[in-house]
């Protein structure tokens, strides 16, 4: 095979371009607006590889118009935009970028947690408004973080990185996961396993770190919100559909919980109008967005592509069975 032909749905970063350009011919989508589905389908038909973002769906519909495709390399750890089974059926390798974004994403979960607890959004707006009349005793009083209880839902790489930061705030850490962690891990993170109901009942801050799967879609719903403390806050940096937004709005309106801080939404880039309220902090899906980390993610995706075309096993292959078949 000559130089593989690739489509990258973003220009990526120079470091990742250097990796790809050394041995591949890459068609980079460089327009400021996102690539349309039609344009993606038009450009993919003669490509051997795809470097894509979580905003592109890789499923049978796309694969059907990409007969030469051998790899879809997602620049994200979450890969709910890729139907891995469809890729496997067509012998297409699918890869993601785990590990390199854990600390940056955990930092941002804490940014949101602190912001919603201490009403930073409201305070920032007031400070900029020209309406601030000066210090006052009960002005924008929020909730303490220090010494409270943090509930981590999904105790994987990012959930654990979030938990480890709680020690500095002398917080009690509870966690819930589909798979209980080994005891030495629990001890290492000073984290106590609870079932979801018990975690929700006892946590002051609930931070969500599960992948989007059929079982986690709508995991936070009217029932779960009713189990939380009225003084508690929900922080979601996982995927939007893990939270039923209509139920969240209802829980906020009826004061079932005190507030929420969100990075992700059910129908991005749309944000439910009912979430645009003072006790909700809204971020535009930027939890992993430091320059260092986004560069590492793009380079990792590039390395996955290069490994495949060099006849090696991509480090982050999600469907290794396609390698055995070839």
Ligand X SMILES: NC(=O)c1ccc[n+]([C@@H]2O[C@H](COP(=O)([O-])OP(=O)(O)OC[C@H]3O[C@@H](n4cnc5c(N)ncnc54)[C@H](O)[C@@H]3O)[C@@H](O)[C@H]2O)c1
- Return residues touching ligand X (CB under 6 A): 77-78, 98, 101, 105, 154-159, 177-179, 209-213, 215-216, 237-239, 263-264, 285, 287-288
What distance in Å separates the CA atoms of residue 314 and residue 324, rounded to the nearest whole number?
13
Residue sitting closest to ligand X (CB):
156
Question: Residue 154 or residue 314: which is nearer to ligand X going by CB?
Answer: 154
Structure tokens at 272: 């439910």
Catalytic residues: 239, 268, 285
Question: Residue 263 or residue 266: which is nearer to ligand X going by CB?
Answer: 263
CB of 96 to ligand X, least distance (A): 8
Question: Residue 10 or residue 47: which is nearer to ligand X going by CB?
Answer: 10
Question: Residue 16 or residue 158: which is nearer to ligand X going by CB?
Answer: 158
């Amino acid at each position: 095979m000559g130089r593989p032909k690739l489509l990258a749905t973003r220009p990526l970063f120079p470091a990742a371009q250097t990796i790809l350009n050394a041995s591949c011919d890459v068609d980079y989508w460089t327009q400021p607006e996102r690539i349309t589905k039609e344009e993606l389908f038009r450009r993919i038909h003669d490509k051997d590889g795809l470097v894509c973002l979580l905003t592109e769906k890789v499923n049978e519909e796309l694969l059907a118009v990409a007969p030469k495709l051998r790899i879809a390399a997602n620049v994200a750890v979450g890969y709910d935009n890729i139907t891995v089974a469809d890729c496997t059926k067509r012998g297409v390798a699918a890869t993601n970028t785990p590990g390199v974004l854990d600390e940056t994403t955990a930092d941002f979960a804490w940014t949101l947690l602190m912001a919603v607890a201490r009403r930073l959004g409201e305070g920032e707006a007031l400070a900029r408004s020209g309406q601030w009349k000066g210090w006052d005793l009960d002005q924008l009083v929020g909730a303490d973080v220090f010494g409270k209880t943090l509930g981590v839902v999904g105790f994987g790489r990012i959930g654990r990185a979030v938990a480890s930061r709680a020690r500095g705030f002398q917080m009690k850490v509870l966690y819930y996961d589909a798979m209980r962690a080994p005891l030495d891990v629990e001890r290492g993170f000073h984290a106590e396993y609870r079932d979801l109901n018990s975690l929700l009942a006892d946590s002051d801050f609930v931070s969500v770190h599960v992948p989007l799967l059929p079982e986690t879609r709508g995991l936070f719903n009217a029932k779960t919100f009713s189990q939380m403390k009225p003084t508690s806050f929900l922080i979601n940096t996982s995927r939007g559909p893990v939270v039923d937004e209509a139920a969240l709005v209802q829980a906020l309106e009826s004061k079932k919980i005190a507030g929420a801080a969100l990075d992700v939404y059910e129908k991005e880039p749309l944000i439910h109008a009912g979430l645009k309220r003072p006790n909700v902090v809204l971020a535009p899906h930027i939890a992993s967005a430091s320059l260092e980390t986004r560069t590492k993610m793009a380079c990792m995706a590039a390395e996955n592509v290069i490994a495949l075309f060099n006849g090696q096993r991509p480090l982050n292959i999600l469907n290794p069975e396609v390698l055995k078949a070839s």
